Structure 1
Amino acid sequence: MQAQTLFHQDLFHSFEAMKTTAPGMSVKAFTAMLDQRTKWFGRTGKVNADAFQRSFLQYVYCNSEEDQLLEKEPLVCPACSPETVAVSVDGNRKLYRFQKANQSEEPGFFDGVFLSQDSEVSSFVEEVRGAVKSTAGRAMCGESQWTAARETSKQANKLNEEGVEIAVCRHGFLLKGLNMYRGEIFAYPMFLQKEFQDAAFLAMDVTCRYVPYLEKVSEVLTHLQPLQKIRHCLSVMHAKAHNTKCKILWNARNQEGAGTTLGEEVEQVDSFLSRCALTTKYMSKSVRTDMLTVHAIGWNQRKENGLHIALSSRFKKTVENSLDATESLKKMQDQLHCSDDMLKQWVVDVKQWASSGNAAASSVDARGLQISIEALFVSICQKKHYLYRQNDRNKRHQKITQKIAKEKKSLLDEIQRYNQQPDGDPVDTHSVVQKLSNKAAESMIWPWQEQNTDGVDILAKKKLFDQLMLVLRLTEEKQILVKEMMQRCQYLKDSVAKVQTLLATISDCIKTGSKCYPNGFTEEASKGLISLLKRRLHYLRLKQQTAACTYRGILQPTPQLVEDEGEMEEMDWQRDLSSEDEDDDEDDAEVGTQVTVVIPFDLTCTLT
């Protein structure tokens, strides 16, 4: 007779919590720890890692089915529903999977839940590629090339999935993702953009090249024209690796209505998901899909638990930063003797300068040196920016560092050659070296790019322009945060209403004996569902109380930020907390029996 192992649900719950906290831990490492405990307590036998993983995924799937019955939405941000300010999209090349033979192609439990189905994505990519002739190679931003900006790309050898493209809201909630098979091509973010057409902004690291491609595709595929209604912006940190004019035109800081949206929320999530790659790159396709979905749901749950604190803290910091930024703007205006009317004109001058080409005419040799200098400078900035973001090996880090040193030497040589050209403004070598240092935060404006028509150089105008944009975005952010707090409270209120409606429906069926239970449940199963719904209702009301107290405390000193005084009354959840259902006691008496949850899977496995 073969021995069997029965896994306790608490063990799965502990493993799920540990995977959320330490996503790089493998199943084999966890089962090895269990084996050590087995020896320590004098028992015999080993836990089969494959059987444990299979049983764990079945357990998580059962929990997800229970969440659906309780009207939970694990991949939705409560603060962004129904109106979303911005969605950030980017690819993670570290979440690749090695190519293996003789692997099962059966779909996983969570196929299409977080990661879109590959068949849908591939059909869309082929539709786009068939409608528009793709340009090979990397796209250009000024004189620089971007690896992530491609219209087409070849498949990598020895890899099945080359990574994951994910969409994240401005609060860091994972919303949707897809598997990449051809690198970071433009068709992937376009597919995700279809899922979030209600968002006001779409943030990317190569927006300046993606928007023209989207316009070209929309001219042929007319059903994609609604995608052009979404405004686009460049993520704040990635903008530092673009040329100065591109940064002015597309940076999220310069887009009206974006608030202080960074557009870098994907990078924050990638720091978590990249640790999953230590184990997922060796998994089968279905298990990898399931495990990434489990991590995404766990990440969102952790974000939701602290959402009220995150919004209130962000609002408090925004108010403080707004006062400091306004004061700094006034000081800068006084130093440059710039009035408010003059400041408006300088803003227009900076935008016109960013939209125009190079101001000064130059000879062929000088122009060639200018292009080379700009390209080398931006290339060094890009390599520094992605040194630790896209490379996880020390050997690769060393090679890139050597390339940076080589390009820096070439840049200084090119600048020296340019300074020897007649009839040209020399480039300050010391200033360039300082800009390339880690502490430098200013953009580089070259002498041939300057337009000095009123006695003030464009760099001084840009400093005031950047400060004014910061003040305006902080002012917008305060209004956006108040609205998101209200949406969060309304989301909780709607969730309570859904649970109460479902609870009343099932209770009526039990009382009347009509046998019309939802989802084809039996009477006993319906009573068990009522117990779960009551627990869910208590949890939601506790969240309402916590959120209301937190938001009221942070908004009370500045009630003028709320446009409608009636909105604050909607945040008063004390009335909902005090108004319990009259039939709660009766329902507890009728349903107050122990409920056994039967999992429709065999969680026993044979020991090896």
Structure 2
Amino acid sequence: MYEETGIFVAICRHGFVIIVCDMVRSGELAKYPIAIVNKVQKVYEGRHRLAGAYDIWCSFKETLNKSTLGPQLKKSGLDGCVPAWHGYAHNRLCQLSNHPLYREGFGMNDFEGCERLFSSTNGVARCTRHASSRYRHRMLCAHFEQWDEDKYHDLSSYLLRHYKEALGRQTALTAALSKAEALLGVHSSDFDGWLAEEHEYLQNLVKEPVKNVQDIAYIELLAKYYQARYVYISMPAGLQMSPADFAY
């Protein structure tokens, strides 16, 4: 019952399940996404330019580049990002490089479809918790087949809903952008420059600025002073000491 510890999946941006593999006697290791990327690369090679999202894409892309797949993936132009919800847990420099909000070509997708898929598979666990590998695979396959059927049934509505949402956002954000440009005296082309400047600043920020360190140290010493002052004032008059009582 402890041999298969979970599943690792890959889905398309519309929610369809592409690949499912078992995690055997281990947690979430790099070998599973590497194997999935290898499989997807072989299936879609030459037909599409691939892009994906992974919770730790920022570090995983380095692992990919150092693997035997590295040269092939660089040639194919594989790109990726960190899913939106997970991305906000990463540091700011990582967000500027890997969050879909700042990446061109990733649209409005939050890339958190796997989380929704895993939420649905929780109901299968009660049937497979003590099952054999064969029965467990049958139950999971049946669940994913039904999942894909539901996604296919909803695909037209999904595309229409997101198309309308994209048009609505484009209209609203264009108006907001024009208003902001008028009020602030800036141009939309400045935004990319600001992001580049922020990225360069954070990348060169090896150590905390001296002024910040001094400000924090001052606040900490000030807090200690007021705490000591409160203790001194709270002492009985006979126990309080004057400056003349201190030897320097």
Q: Normalization by structure 1: what TM-score? A: 0.33
Q: 1:445-481 deviations in whole A, cap 9, x for unaligned?
A: xxxxxxxxxxxxxxxxxxxxxxxxxxxxxxxxxxxxx
Greater relative CO, 1 or 2 (CA 8 Å, sep 6+): 1
| Aligned twin of 1:434 | none
Q: 1:160 to 1:341 in 2, by over 3 A?
A: closer
| Aligned twin of 2:220 | 420
| Aligned twin of 1:168 | 11
* Paired residues, number: 213
Match 1:189 to one of 15, 21, 33: 33
Secondary structure, counterpart of 1:176 in structure 2: strand
Indicate if the aligned counterparts of 2:96 and 2:195 stay in contact, CA closer than 8 A: no
| Aligned twin of 1:333 | 181
Q: Give the counterpart letter for 2:94 in structure 1.
A: C
TM-aligned CA deviation for residue 162 of structure 1: 1.1
Match 1:215 to one of 62, 65, 70: 65
Q: 1:260-300 deviations in whole A, cap 9, x for unaligned?
A: 22111111111111221122111111100111011101110
Indicate if the aligned counterparts of 1:239 and 1:251 stay in contact, CA closer than 8 A: yes
Q: Does residue 320 of the first structure (1) align with residue 168 of the second (2)?
A: yes
Secondary structure, counterpart of 1:324 in structure 2: helix
Q: Does residue 244 of the first structure (1) align with residue 92 of the second (2)?
A: yes
Q: 1:340 to 1:285 in 2, by over 3 A?
A: closer
Q: 1:384-434 deviations in whole A, cap 9, x for unaligned?
A: xxxxxxxxxxxxxxxxxxxxxxxxxxxxxxx97684379xxxxxxxxxxxx
Q: Does residue 226 of the first structure (1) align with residue 72 of the second (2)?
A: yes
Secondary structure, counterpart of 1:175 in structure 2: strand
Q: 1:20-54 deviations in whole A, cap 9, x for unaligned?
A: xxxxxxxxxxxxxxxxxxxxxxxxxxxxxxxxxxx
Q: 1:210 to 1:325 in 2, by over 3 A?
A: same
The CA distance in 2 between the partners of 1:419 and 1:183, in whole Å, is 44
The equivalences for 1:121-160 within 5 A come to 159-160=2-3
TM-aligned CA deviation for residue 347 of structure 1: 3.4
The CA distance in 2 between the partners of 1:345 and 1:255, in whole Å, is 14
Q: Normalization by structure 2: what TM-score? A: 0.77
| Aligned twin of 1:113 | none
TM-aligned CA deviation for residue 211 of structure 1: 1.1
TM-aligned CA deviation for residue 353 of structure 1: 3.0
| Aligned twin of 1:51 | none
TM-aligned CA deviation for residue 177 of structure 1: 0.9
The CA distance in 2 between the partners of 1:359 and 1:206, in whole Å, is 24
The CA distance in 1 between the partners of 2:121 and 2:104, in whole Å, is 31
Indicate if the aligned counterparts of 2:177 and 2:188 stay in contact, CA closer than 8 A: no
Indicate if the aligned counterparts of 1:249 and 1:355 stay in contact, CA closer than 8 A: no
Q: 1:211-265 deviations in whole A, cap 9, x for unaligned?
A: 1111222xxx2x5532343101110010011111111110112222111221111
Q: Give the counterpart letter for 1:268 in structure 2.
A: R
Q: 1:418 to 1:180 in 2, by over 3 A?
A: farther
Q: Give the counterpart letter for 2:58 in structure 1.
A: C
Secondary structure, counterpart of 2:28 in structure 1: coil
Secondary structure, counterpart of 2:4 in structure 1: coil
TM-aligned CA deviation for residue 338 of structure 1: 1.6
TM-aligned CA deviation for residue 171 of structure 1: 0.6
The CA distance in 1 between the partners of 2:111 and 2:63, in whole Å, is 20
Secondary structure, counterpart of 1:420 in structure 2: helix
Greater Cα shift, 258-267 or 335-344: 335-344
Q: Give the counterpart letter for 1:187 in structure 2.
A: K
The equivalences for 1:184-583 within 5 A come to 184-197=28-41, 198=44, 199-217=49-67, 221=68, 224-228=70-74, 229-358=77-206, 360-362=208-210, 366=213, 419-420=219-220
Q: Give the counterpart letter for 2:170 in structure 1.
A: S
The CA distance in 2 between the partners of 1:421 and 1:226, in whole Å, is 57
| Aligned twin of 1:177 | 20
Runs of at least 5 residues in structure 1 that lack an aligned partner in the other structure: 1-98, 100-158, 368-414, 423-608
